[in-house]
Amino acid sequence: MKEMQLKYGCNPNQVPSRVYLKDGELPFEVLCGRPGYINLLDALNGWQLVSELKKATGLPAATSFKHVSPAGAAVGLPLTDTLKKIYFVDDVELTPMANAYARARGADRMSSFGDFIALSDECDKATALLIKKEVSDGIIAPSYSDEALEILKAKKNGNYCVLKIDPAYKPNPIECKEVFGITFEQGRNELPINDDLLADIVTDNKDMPESAKRDLLISLITLKYTQSNSVCYVKDGQAIGIGAGQQSRIHCTRLAGNKADIWWLRQAPQVLNLQFVDGIRRADRDNTIDVYISDEYEDVLKDGVWQTLFKIKPEPFTKAEQKEWLKKNSDVALGSDAFFPFGDNIERAYKSGVKYIAQPGGSVRDDNVIETCNKYNMAMSFTKIRLFHH
């Protein structure tokens, strides 16, 4: 198939709409459903991301995409009992591919609501059963087991979008797009992201263990497919906070840091011990947890409100308690798609447990940024590459 007609473009008024290749066949086939314009943008960006993660780490990878940026990305490392509980997968059998998806979806569950999924390897039954329970628009993967495909085809009354990508497809090295009737052309960003980019450690602390290098590579590859400006916090093989599309670097660092903090706070005993009423929907549970650990927690504790959500009225999770819990987060990796212009980014990153950093360097204030890292005994590499994505 050389082209595919779409219902409409980014918005319903943008018609006609289609995707096509000038030469050759489209590298994917639709096994179920009908993809939209934004679905395909998410699918093709997501597929590139997980393909690179698999190549860089040797592990199966997954990403959860929303509006042309990842909400989560991860590799298939085993989950702790705590992570299984906060990702709502403590009662199912998990494979490496399912672990990767549970991590990618679980990092920022609110942002992942209605996502488009990309998997680096075959979608197996265990992964399909996880997807079955979530609100999602579609998936792209190189293959599907018979059982997995049957499960996914039944989702959304048979309208769930299932795409099969040809993993051997190689795009043209020159890419084009049009804006306001004007054609832009550039070479694809084919720069490999590997350990070589982390060799120039510019801080006093030169200790960067293999686990930190893995996490920094995950952050950089995730940033490569995140709308800029962007930063990405990673811990134990998964993104825990992604800040995308901010005009200011510090706002980006704060946004992603806040998401990383929420991920960590969800593991606190105060949250783990919440007793929700039976039958509460996952989205309602996610929203309630988000409010419970925010400044609006009193709203969910009001009479007439908490009774609809909890079996037992929870005690407030105070700001002082949250601050003490956040201090326990450590060994977090942070990547940035462009240089940090001021040390304030490092100060904010430190509050979210960051110990390892990878960024291009090249700011006139690099000395200040390095000095701030040294103050907190962080290890920072200058990659000398920028990863803007638009």
Which residues contact residue 332 at a Cβ distance below 8 angstroms, ignoring those fewer than 6 apart? 215, 233, 234, 235, 240, 260, 349, 352, 353, 354, 355, 356
**Catalytic-residue membership of 390:** yes
Calculate ∠ Cα 335-138-4, nearest 5°.
105
384 is catalytic: no
> Treating both helix axes as pointing N-terminal to C-terminal, what angle do 319-326 and 249-265 enclose, rounded to 10 degrees?
100
Q: Which of 66, 84, 155, 224 is catalytic?
A: 66
229 carries an active-site annotation: yes
Among 205, 282, 218, smallest CA distance to 49 is for 218
Question: 66 an active-site residue?
Answer: yes
The 3-state DSSP composition of the chain as helix, strand, coil percent (nearest 5) reads 35, 20, 40
Among the options 170, 206, 302, 390, which is catalytic?
A: 390
Write down the catalytic residue from 67, 85, 153, 156: 67
**Inter-residue contact 93 to 263 (CB < 8 Å):** no
Maximum Cα interatomic distance, the chain, rounded to a whole number of Å: 64
Catalytic residue among 45, 99, 229, 329: 229
Active site residues per annotation: 66-67, 229, 390
